[in-house]
A and B are shown apart, each in its own frame.
Chain A
Amino acid sequence: GAVVSQHPSWVICKSGTSVKIECRSLDFQATTMFWYRQFPKQSLMLMATSNEGSKATYEQGVEKDKFLINHASLTLSTLTVTSAHPEDSSFYICSAKFPGGHYNEQFFGPGTRLTVL
């Protein structure tokens, strides 16, 4: 199946710093990628839809200036958590929509665990 990678797999940072997380589709081109956040023992919450070459679409309640998304190429989307605070500590997961075909299958990355001190 298609492979999606994330980097880094975990990061610890001080409060107030910005953190960039990368999501790459390794063996296919993805015009659409998605960013999710998952708090402990909770489900995945969709944060935004990342569209190659255009602005991301954010879900209601997600601050676009706080979570900057850049989808500059067909294989890379980045999520930057700006001025991170402890409440931003979470597990961030990206997914990529497989192009073509009739179905909306998404392939997920392994996740990035962010801890803000």
Chain B
Amino acid sequence: SQQGEEDPQALSIQEGENATMNCSYKTSINNLQWYRQNSGRGLVHLILIRSNEREKHSGRLRVTLDTSKKSSSLLITASRAADTASYFCPRSSNTGNQFYFGTGTSLTVIP
């Protein structure tokens, strides 16, 4: 199994600024997914990007994927205090069924 590697571990920005977090992985993938977890809550699926896609948008979210570098980035534009959460890009098992999580990026948006 390969755990996700999110970077940075922690990020603090002012409301209205953009937040960028990165994800690296080691093996080939079919797709990569980003999830958000608010403190003490379950996870919310944010966006899925397929291996043949390079960029994808969803509202204020922009995800890029560089398969040659085995990395992805999540950009949150015009951040809000409500975006304060931990963000994860879990790795899939070889079968694609299981997810293995890294430590995530803890984002704090200061009002």
Contacts and interface: CB of A to CB of B under 8 A. Distances in A.
A43 B102 contact: yes
Interface string A105-117: 1111111010000
A111 B45 contact: no
Chain A interface, DSSP helix/strand/loop, else mixed:
strand
A60 to B, nearest CB: 9
Nearest to A42: B103
Interface residues of A, number: 26
Interface of B: 30-31, 33, 35, 40-45, 48, 88, 92, 96-104
Contacts of B100: 46
Interface stretch (A12-20, A61-69, A76-84, A91-99): A91-99
Interface of A: 1, 4, 6, 32, 34, 36, 42-46, 49, 91, 93, 95, 97, 103-111, 113
Contacts, number: 56
B13 to A, nearest CB: 20
Given A43-B102, A43-B103, A103-B48, A95 B43 contact: yes
A49 B100 CA distance: 12
B98 to A, nearest CB: 6
B42 to A, nearest CB: 4
A95 B44 CA distance: 11
Given A49-B97, A104-B30, 18 more contacts: A1-B45, A32-B97, A36-B101, A43-B102, A43-B104, A44-B43, A46-B98, A46-B99, A46-B100, A95-B43, A103-B31, A104-B31, A104-B92, A106-B45, A108-B43, A108-B44, A109-B42, A110-B41
A40 to B, nearest CB: 10
B98 A93 contact: no
B4 to A, nearest CB: 9
A32 to B, nearest CB: 6
